[in-house]
């Protein structure tokens, strides 16, 4: 099996990939993550996932390189990482009592052959009705300012949900493991 590389600095993605019990390294790619004019959210995450993987292919010419990118979408508006309490509060107010779809782009690049598998895995979160006191308590406790949608589903953020909908809950955290296993198997990796 070629060595495996995660094109990401995300501790959440590294933790998820470790579940597969395969040896891997990780490195952050240096790419421009800007939206292109009129680019749909699904096209954006597919493009960025592949760009992240390809950005490291020259440095790692005999690897399987995993790229991933995620956005949250509410009313056709892309919600980025909030970075501040105020923006996180606004995102959660907007999501209150509504549904937010998370689109996770996933790419597996065989840097030796140049072949790249690319997909997008959707996952929808249906939020409870959240009052300002609830939002404030949550943000003060978990501080999810580096997370699209302003919550951590693997932590206390689950208390904000009424229900979820999708084929792979790990996609919500940023790396859809079920789809990744499909890609790894197609690339000749033996699992488990």
Active site residues: 69
CA dist 16 and 168 (Å) reads 12
Indicate if the alpha-carbon torsion angle 47, 49, 51, 53 is positive or negative.
negative
Q: Please, are residues 35 and 48 in contact by the beta-carbon 8 Å criterion?
A: no
Angle between helical axes of 132-142 and 85-95 (0-180°, round to 10) = 130
Positions of E strands within 94-159: 99-110, 116-127
CA dist 183 and 52 (Å) reads 17
């Amino acid at each position: 099996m070629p060595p495996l590389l995660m094109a990401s600095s995300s501790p959440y993605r590294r933790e998820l990939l470790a579940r597969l019990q395969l040896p891997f390294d990780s490195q952050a790619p240096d790419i421009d993550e800007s939206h292109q004019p009129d680019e749909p959210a699904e096209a954006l995450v597919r493009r960025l996932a592949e760009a992240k993987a390809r950005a490291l292919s020259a440095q790692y010419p005999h690897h399987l390189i995993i790229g991933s990118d995620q956005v949250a979408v509410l009313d056709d508006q892309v919600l980025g990482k909030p970075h501040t309490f105020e923006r996180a509060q606004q995102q959660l107010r907007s999501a209150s009592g509504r549904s937010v779809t998370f689109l996770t782009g996933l790419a597996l690049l065989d840097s030796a052959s140049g072949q790249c598998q690319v997909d997008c895995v959707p996952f929808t979160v249906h939020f409870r009705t959240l009052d300002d006191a609830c939002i404030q308590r949550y943000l003060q406790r978990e501080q999810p300012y580096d997370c699209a949608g302003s919550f951590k589903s693997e932590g206390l953020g689950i208390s904000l949900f009424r229900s979820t909908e999708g084929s792979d809950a790990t996609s919500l955290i940023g790396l859809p493991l079920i789809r990744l296993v499909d890609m790894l198997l197609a690339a000749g990796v033996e699992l488990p």
